[in-house]
Amino acid sequence: MTKQTGITLFEDTKVRIVWDDEQEKYYFSVADIVQILTDSADVKQYIKRMRSRDAELDSKWGTICTPVEMIAPDGKRRKTQAADLEGIFRIIQSIPSKKAEPVKRWLAEVGAQRVDQMIDPEQTFQMGIGVGKCAPHICAVDFQSGSAPRIYAR
């Protein structure tokens, strides 16, 4: 199983992601997404309270989230609670936030770009050298050997 780690940006906020080649899907850091939506000072406590408020989410947490090795803020690789697009959308449903819709659109765009790249690998190459169309909030994509693409926002 090959996993590529990287960081993407949503409105100048870093979001840690991992691409799993075997499952062909992205995993996003749950803490990073919750931080964007809530601006919480203590994301871990917010997630704990969110789970206690939403019994269905709490009962399916082990299915929705999985520990994935990502680069922690201190630069070390650590297991981090992560979820695929479907899981992240389910978590977003549990968070009352004005930022939910922009985040959903951004997530859908990230997924759509990956599908486009799978259909036409030339797009990946063109994005890597800065050629081709970028989404309105994306200005560059950096592909490094052994890591996921880094998408830089305007």
136 — pLDDT class (breaks 50, 70, 90): very low
Strands of 11-145, DSSP E: 13-20, 25-29, 66-71, 77-83, 138-142
Q: With contact defined as beta carbons under 8 Å apart, do 148 and 18 qualify? A: yes
- State residue 129's pLDDT score: 42
Rounded Cα–Cα distance for residues 120 and 128 (Å): 14
Find which of 3-17, 35-49, 89-103 is predicted with most confidence, using mean pLDDT.
35-49
- State residue 3's pLDDT score: 60
10 — pLDDT class (breaks 50, 70, 90): low
Is the pTM of the predicted complex or chain greater than 0.95? Answer: no
* Pairwise pLDDT comparison (12 vs 76), residue with the higher score: 76
* Pairwise pLDDT comparison (61 vs 149), residue with the higher score: 61
Q: What is the pLDDT of residues 81-132, one digit of tens each?
A: 999 988 988 898 888 887 777 777 777 777 666 655 655 555 544 544 443 4
Rounded Cα–Cα distance for residues 138 and 95 (Å): 25
- Which helix H or strand E contains 124, and what residues bound it? helix 121-128
Place of tokens 């206690």: 52
Best CA proximity match to 112, nearest among 98, 95, 133, 128: 133
pLDDT at 31 over 90: yes
Place of tokens 């030339």: 122
Best CA proximity match to 117, nearest among 152, 151, 89, 66: 151
